[in-house]
Amino acid sequence: MEYKITYDHGAIDAMANSVVQQSFAMQDTLNDVEKQTNSLLSVFLGIGATSFGDHQRPFLQSGYNIIETVQRLGQTIHVVRGDAEATDHLISHI
C-alpha cells in the first residue's frame, strides 16, 4: 500500500504571509503604545518618571521580542514549505 503526503502549497504560503502581516500589525500597535506611553513621561516627575520608564522599557522589549518571534514563524513556514516541495520533487524521480 502506498502512502502519499500531499500539501496545498498555495494555502500554506497564504497562511505564512498572513502570519507575517499580523506581525506587522502588531508592530504598528506596539509603536502606538510606545508613543502614547512616552507622552505620559512628561506627567510623571522625579522618581515617578524614572520608575515609569524603568517598567515601560522591559514591557516594550517583551512586545518587540514577541513580534520578532511571530515574524520568524512566518518566515520559517515559508522555508519549510519550500523544503517540503523540493523534497517531494526530488523523491518523485526515484
Residues 50, 48: Cα–Cα separation, whole Å: 5
In a domain, 30, yes or no: yes
In a domain, 1, yes or no: no
User: How many independent structural domains does the chain possess?
Assistant: 1
Q: Which domain holds residue 67?
A: 11-88
Residue 48: which pLDDT band, with cuts at 50, 70 and 90?
A: confident
Decide which of 93 and 20 is more confident.
20
How confident is the model at residue 3, as a pLDDT? 66
What average pLDDT score do residues 1-24 get? 88
Residue 45: which pLDDT band, with cuts at 50, 70 and 90?
A: confident
Helix (H) or strand (E) holding 17: helix 9-40
Burial level of 15, CB count in 10 A (0-12/13-18/19+)?
Answer: middle
| CATH code, 59 | 1.10.287
Decide which of 43 and 61 is more confident.
61
In a domain, 25, yes or no: yes
Name the packing angle between helices 47-91 and 9-40 (round to 10°): 170
Q: Is the pLDDT of residue 72 over 60?
A: yes
How confident is the model at residue 41, as a pLDDT? 81
pTM: 0.81
What average pLDDT score do residues 12-27 get? 96
In a domain, 6, yes or no: no
